[in-house]
Amino acid sequence: MIGVLITTHGNLGNELIKAAELIKGPLSDILHISVDQSRNVEDIKKEIGNAIKKLDKGKGVLVLTDLFGGTPSNISLSFMKEQKVEVVTGVNLPMLLKLSEVKESMTLREFACFIKEHGQKNIYVASELLSKKALG
């Protein structure tokens, strides 16, 4: 199983997990680390490093983070050196709901791409969708 770590500004990630569990039931192999402004970057780095170690059961860890270029993302990217970590930014609820569908055969990279595509595909402008339906 590929582990999943969510790193976000404030408590966003934790709330996303709560919302996903409300819909899907308990999620396994998932942790959240909150990055807030009262904390030292080195401490957060250590905490993220420990979480990655804990989550890695041999197939690596997918890090989902909120904003590309933000501190949670910047720190997460610094762990990509080890090849056992993949980072996907712009985390949203549809992505979290899809996590449990990871197939045993997927590599970390494939899993990351699968989650990214799912997250992107699930953003709609409702009126565009409606007009398409009406025309179709």
Partner 1 sequence: MAQDLNIELVRVDNRLVHGQILESWVPYVKAQCIIVVDDNIAGNVFDETVIRMAVPSEIDLIINTVEDFAHNYNFSHNKGKNTIVLFRSIRDVCKAYELGFHFDKLNIGNIHHEEFKVCCSPSVFLCDTEIEDIIRLLENDGVVVELKRVPRERAVNIREALKGYCNLSP
Tell me which residue has tokens 């910047």.
74
Burial class (CB in 10 A: 0-12, 13-18, 19+), 61: buried
The residue from 22, 69, 104, 134 that contacts partner 1 (CB under 8 A) is 69
User: Does position 71 bind partner 1 by CB under 8 A?
Assistant: yes
The residue from 14, 27, 77, 92 that contacts partner 1 (CB under 8 A) is 77
In whole angstroms, the minimum distance from the beta carbon of 52 to partner 1 comes to: 17
User: Does position 58 bind partner 1 by CB under 8 A?
Assistant: no
Q: CB-wise, 18 or 39, nearer to partner 1?
A: 39
Q: Six-digit token pair at 136? A: 């179709």
User: Does position 53 bind partner 1 by CB under 8 A?
Assistant: no
The residue from 3, 17, 61, 73 that contacts partner 1 (CB under 8 A) is 73
For residue 116, which amino acid is it? K
* C-beta neighbour count of 75 within 10 angstroms: 22
Burial class (CB in 10 A: 0-12, 13-18, 19+), 34: middle
- Residues contacting 23, CB < 8 A, separation 6+: 97
User: Does position 41 bind partner 1 by CB under 8 A?
Assistant: yes
The residue from 34, 49, 67, 94 that contacts partner 1 (CB under 8 A) is 67
User: Does position 11 bind partner 1 by CB under 8 A?
Assistant: no
